[in-house]
């Protein structure tokens, strides 16, 4: 991986140890200063904006840059190899042409930065399940899904549901992954691996519960109306009474 910049703190104009809020505010300030729309006559404006974006990305997603040549991390260059196989993950700002991610084409393709835990063949795996395991190891979630959904109902064992959970997890369908792993546990309640996966999912949602202080479980506001579309002249959702 070859980042555009060497020191994200310097690019954003902040000190090492800055909090997340400080990083975000610094980004906002730099984005206002550097945005190409503010400098239509500056040929370097796009490059500067990309550097600001990259600096922000480095500080907010340091896991993406492990193993890359970034001297600012602990003052040393990365030596662990490039987990992203030399591809540039940046979705850089350009002034023309769409680049990079096609949402539909990426469906079931998963993210290059998000990997499911290692999965291995098990004794008794059918050739199709072995092919699914191989596809999962290569992060080819589309192929894994295709093989699994092509298997008849009678072959959809606990193992099938477990592998489907991993496919959904890799494809960023976490609710569906939850459904599948619970089905796997129903069919094989003593399987510790399946329970560990469920535990991992539950643990991953804890920051959300902490941020909301658990309040999300109680909120109901009868004042705002749920409904399908309706003419605002007759039925603005802020009610007749606020005239």
Partner 1 sequence: MVISVFGYIRPYMPALSEADQKRYRAHYCGLCRTLYTRFGLKGQAFLNYDMTFLSMLLASLYEPAETLRTASCVPHPVRRHEEVISPASDYAADMTILLAYFKACDDRQDEKKASGWATTRLLGEAFRNVSAQYPNQTVHISECMQQIRKAETATDTQPEAIAAFSGEILAAIFPWKPDDFWARDLARFGSLLGQYVYWLDAVVDDRHDLKHHCYNPLHVLGVHAQDMHPVLLQNISQAAELFETWPLVQDLDILRNIVYQGVWQAYNQVLRKEGVPVDP
Please give the Cα distance from 194 to 197 (Å, whole number): 5
* Residue 19 interacts with partner 1 (CB under 8 A): yes or no: no
Q: Which pairs from 68-74 meet CB under 8 Å and 24+ separation?
A: 68/1, 68/2, 68/3, 69/1, 69/2, 69/3, 70/3, 70/6, 71/6, 71/7, 72/6, 72/7, 72/8, 72/9
How far does CA 160 lie from the centroid of its chain? 24
Please give the Cα distance from 137 to 234 (Å, whole number): 56
CB of 9 to partner 1, least distance (A): 15
Please list every residue from 175 through 234 that binds partner 1, using CB under 8 A: 175-180, 182, 201-202, 204-205, 207-209, 211-212, 214-221, 223-224, 226-234
CB of 37 to partner 1, least distance (A): 9
| C-beta closer to partner 1: residue 77 or 91 | 91
Please give the Cα distance from 207 to 212 (Å, whole number): 9
Q: Which of 4, 24, 47, 84 binds partner 1 (CB under 8 A)?
A: 24
- Count CB neighbours of 141 within 10 A: 23
CB of 27 to partner 1, least distance (A): 4
Q: Which stretch binds partner 1 (CB under 8 A): 23-31, 64-72, 73-81, 122-130?
A: 23-31
- Count CB neighbours of 157 within 10 A: 16
* 99 DSSP 8-state letter: -
CB of 177 to partner 1, least distance (A): 7
Per rule CB under 8 A, count of chain residues that contact partner 1? 79
Please list every residue from 66 through 125 that binds partner 1, using CB under 8 A: 90-94, 96-101, 103-104, 106-108, 111
| C-beta closer to partner 1: residue 84 or 201 | 201
Please list every residue from 42 through 61 that binds partner 1, using CB under 8 A: 50, 53, 56-57, 60-61
| C-beta closer to partner 1: residue 46 or 73 | 46
């Amino acid at each position: 991986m070859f980042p555009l910049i060497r020191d994200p703190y310097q690019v954003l104009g902040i000190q090492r140890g800055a909090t997340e809020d400080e990083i975000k505010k610094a980004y906002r300030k730099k984005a206002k200063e550097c945005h190409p729309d503010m400098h239509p006559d500056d040929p370097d404006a796009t490059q500067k904006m990309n550097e600001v974006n990259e600096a922000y990305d480095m500080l907010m997603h340091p896991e993406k840059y492990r193993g890359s040549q970034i001297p600012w991390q602990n003052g040393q260059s990365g030596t662990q190899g490039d987990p992203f196989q030399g591809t540039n993950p940046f979705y850089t700002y350009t002034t023309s042409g769409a680049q990079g991610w096609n949402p539909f084409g990426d469906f079931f393709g998963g993210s290059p930065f998000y990997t499911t835990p290692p999965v291995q063949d098990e004794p008794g795996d059918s050739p199709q399940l072995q092919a699914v395991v191989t596809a999962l190891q290569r992060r080819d979630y589309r192929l894994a899904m295709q093989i699994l959904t092509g298997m008849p109902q009678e072959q959809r064992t606990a193992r099938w549901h477990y592998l489907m959970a991993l496919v959904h997890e890799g494809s960023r369908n976490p609710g569906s992954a939850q459904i599948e792993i619970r089905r796997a546990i129903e069919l094989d309640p003593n399987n510790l691996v399946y329970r560990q996966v469920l535990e991992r999912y539950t643990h991953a949602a804890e920051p959300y519960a902490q941020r909301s202080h658990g309040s999300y479980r109680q909120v109901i506001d009868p004042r705002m109306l749920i409904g399908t579309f309706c003419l605002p002249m007759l039925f603005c959702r802020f009610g007749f009474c606020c005239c």
